[in-house]
Amino acid sequence: MRVLAAFKYAMAGIIHCVCRERHMQIHLTAALAALGLAWRLDFSTLEQAVLLLTIAGVITAEMFNTAIETVINKISPEVHPLAKVAKDVAAGAVLVQAITALGVGVVLFGEKLLK
């Protein structure tokens, strides 16, 4: 039963992010568009795997960012320089992952779209 409870809590976290985090909604929209285009372009199994791992990386980074921001808002509701650093670093991690995903997208889609 503990395993089921763990899955229930994990799903609650995912649902929270999808329903309440605008950036998560943007990432998911981009992911669905990329998956649809990959299907249309008949990606190989390896290309599909790389795309899925890249999407998972962005989604995971966004979820960690949400978790970090939520905890900081709870423990430091007032503006504090260290709280700002933590939030900025978490947001920066998402940005690094998103830029990397864009690069992966250029590599995966670029040549196929130019044909």
3-state secondary structure the chain: CHHHHHHHHHHHHHHHHHHHCHHHHHHHHHHHHHHHHHHHCCCCHHHHHHHHHHHHHHHHHHHHHHHHHHHHHHHCCCCCHHHHHHHHHHHHHHHHHHHHHHHHHHHHHHHHHHC
Q: Out of 62, 69, 78, 111, which one is annotated catalytic?
A: 62
User: Is 62 labeled as catalytic in the residue annotation?
Assistant: yes
Assess contact for 87 and 72: CB atoms under 8 A.
Answer: yes
Residues designated as active site: 62
